[in-house]
Amino acid sequence: MDNPRFTFTIEAQDTSSRARKARLLTPHGSIETPVFMPVGTKGTVKGLLPEQLTSLGAQIILANTYHLSLRPGSELIADYGGLHSFMNWQRPILTDSGGFQIFSLADTLKVSDDGVSFASILDGSRHHWTPEDNMRIQGQLGSDIIMQLDQCTSYPCDKTVVSEAVRRSAAWASRCRIAQKDPSKALFAIVQGGVFADLRLESIERLLEIDAQVGCFEGFGIGGYSVGEPHDMLLESLSYVARELPQDRPRYLMGVGNPTTLLRSIALGVDMFDCVLPTRTARMGTAFSSEGKLNLRNARFTRDSSPLDPQCTCPTCSGYTRAYIRHLVLSKEILASVLLSIHNLHYLTDLMTQAREAIVAGAYTSFLGKWEESRASRDF
């Protein structure tokens, strides 16, 4: 990296895979990777205090530019000193560009090389964003890591549409790099290309040309996955994408939170992940565990006095039974979502800790192999 406020240091490399443990330094602290980032879409990880996130081992959280720009507005957040002050979170923050949310609103979307026009989900008002607008808004939010505005595609999608998205996303990456000159923020470019190998490689080639000619990106996001494609197809594509990205920058697989996918992606050299899965499934009454997913609505938990996961040390498992949490779920008590969110986020942050320890020990392949062997008893 050329930016002295952001350094990425590889501290250990697994000998039989591409898994690596690294440290990413930011103005709000360092991040050990591989890392899972809890999602605080609207400036909050639903139901949890920042202090609870810290105690769970969350090193960095993600917030959403689209939603925060609509409510309460990036100008207001800037007036309060940025997201860190506004939401009382003093560790690193990553903001996504909001591109995924915008392009999911196909009925109201108009896209051109200049930018995107869309309707607010709050009041239907029309908005237009150029890449430069997006950089300005993320700058007002005050996050540490910001993502370029890109054009997202669905699955399945016609190859000509994906090709145009690759071209446009690269052009927007260049404009974002030119517009974003604040050294207190790291800009990540985003690889697109769907499941087409040649388009993924073209996307990387275009971004690396910008990286060399316009200015270095501090990292690379890998977007356009987890949109309906088969799991094996995702991993096959991700294998060569991660291999072709620079070794000296973090690689961030966007929007993926399935535990097995996380561990397999780490073996391919991915460093960062985010997903709403652990907190969304918690609000649906579901817990991750060493046994697999537990649906607490199931009658078999009615008199179950054991913790959610006997192998877990989180506050939920230390103090509450499956029977009690099932009661809360069926009663639609807020505490059910809180306790399950605490547990699910702890599950993933602890999984990342185990992955880092295995890499340092030079045993990641063995660690992953044992996980795969036990998958028969899990459903993720």
Q: Is residue 189 a contact partner of residue 199, using CB atoms and an 8 Å limit?
A: no
State residue 313's pLDDT score: 97
**Average pLDDT of the chain to the nearest whole number:** 96
Q: Is the pTM of this model over 0.95?
A: yes
Q: What is the pLDDT of residues 308-346, one digit of tens each?
A: 999 999 999 999 999 999 999 999 999 999 999 999 999
Q: What is the pLDDT of residues 55-72, one digit of tens each?
A: 999 999 999 999 999 999
What is the C-alpha to C-alpha distance for residues 108 and 105, in angstroms, rounded to an integer? 6
State residue 60's pLDDT score: 98
Does the pLDDT of residue 378 top 80, yes or no?
no
Residue 365, phi-psi category: left (phi > 0), alpha (psi -120 to 50), beta (remainder): alpha
**Residues taking part in catalysis:** 96, 274
Q: What is the pLDDT of residues 192-251, one digit of tens each?
A: 999 999 999 999 999 999 999 999 999 999 999 989 899 899 999 999 999 999 999 999
- For residue 276, which of 37, 59, 95 has the smallest C-alpha distance? 37
- In terms of Cβ atoms closer than 10 Å to its own Cβ (0-12, 13-18, 19+), residue 279 is buried
Q: What is the pLDDT of residues 243-287, one digit of tens each?
A: 999 999 999 999 999 999 999 999 999 999 999 999 999 999 999
State which amino acid sits at residue 192.
Q
Burial pattern 217-227, b for ≥16 Cβ within 10 A else e, equals: bbbbbbbbbbb
C-alpha dist (Å) from residue 270 to 177, 334, 365: 23, 35, 15
State residue 377's pLDDT score: 63
Helix, strand, or coil here: 133?
helix
Domains of the chain: 7-275 (3.20.20.105), 282-372 (no CATH)
pLDDT band at 92 (very low <50, low <70, confident <90, very high): very high
List phi, psi (to 5°) of 217: -85, 145
